[in-house]
Amino acid sequence: MSTADLFALFLHFLSLSVFATGGAMSLASDMHRYVVDQNGYLTHTDFVNSIALAQAAPGPNIMFVTVMGWQIAGVQGALATTLGLSLPALIFPFVVSRLGRRAQFERALRVMQRGLGPVAIGLMVSTSFLLVREAPGIWKGAAIIAATVALLALTRIPPVLLIFAAGALGAFIPW
């Protein structure tokens, strides 16, 4: 990957971060558009693998972005995506701490929260839709997705155990 492409990757994740409301996973649909659909840096399977590995390992959710960058361009790629998504956060809080705890600021915050919350929910549903639509092995993938959703709703099994169990199952069934 050329330096220009690497820089463009960094800039894309930087701009995504500026518009992030909620967690990194709500941005996955947009990342997929850039990384898989537009530039073909990764296949859809690579993309889902980065999410799977990050969910199975300890660390914040944003780690799937690190794996994605690493798959695209090694350690440099990992730095480009991870720092791109993290650096804007270093700037904005200082603006906030200067504004302090003024009542007006508190009110603006509540309004922003109420306004942006539903947008973030739509983004998270978009991520789900993208991932479900292209589930691996069609009905096998769909069956594991459905079983996971059901077990999470009905039991208190820690999610990471479900991921490990699905991995063990996946290793022994033909896809």
Partner 1 sequence: MADVPPAETGPPPRSTSELFMSFAWISMQSFGGALAFIERTVVRDKRWLSPKEFLGLYAVSQVLPGPTGISFCVLLGDRFLGLRGAVAALAGFLLLPSMLIIGIAALFQQFQHVPQVQGALHGMGAASVGLIVTTAARMARTLRGQRIGIAVAVLSFAAVGLGRLPVSTVMLTLGVLSVWLAWRSHPQ
Based on the shown chain and the rule CB under 8 A, indicate whether residue 92 belongs to the binding site for partner 1. yes
Residue 39 engages partner 1 in binding (rule: CB under 8 A) = no
Task: Give φ, ψ of 5 to 5 degrees.
Answer: -65, -40
Residues 132-171 interacting with partner 1 (rule: CB under 8 A): 132, 135-137, 140-142, 144-149, 152-153, 158-160, 162-171
For the chain, the 3-state helix, strand and coil shares in percent, each to the nearest 5, are 80, 0, 20
Q: How far is CA 38 from the centre of its chain?
A: 18
C-beta closer to partner 1: residue 4 or 90 = 90
Which of 5, 8, 39, 128 contacts partner 1 by CB under 8 A?
A: 128
The residues in 52-71 that bind partner 1, with binding defined as CB under 8 A, are 52-63, 66-67, 70-71
Q: Which of 37, 57, 70, 26 is nearest to 163 (CA)?
A: 57
72 touches partner 1 (CB under 8 A)? no
CA 70 to each of CA 37, 125, 127: distance values in angstroms, whole numbers, following the listed order: 18, 26, 21
Query: CB of 97: closest distance to partner 1 in angstroms?
Result: 6
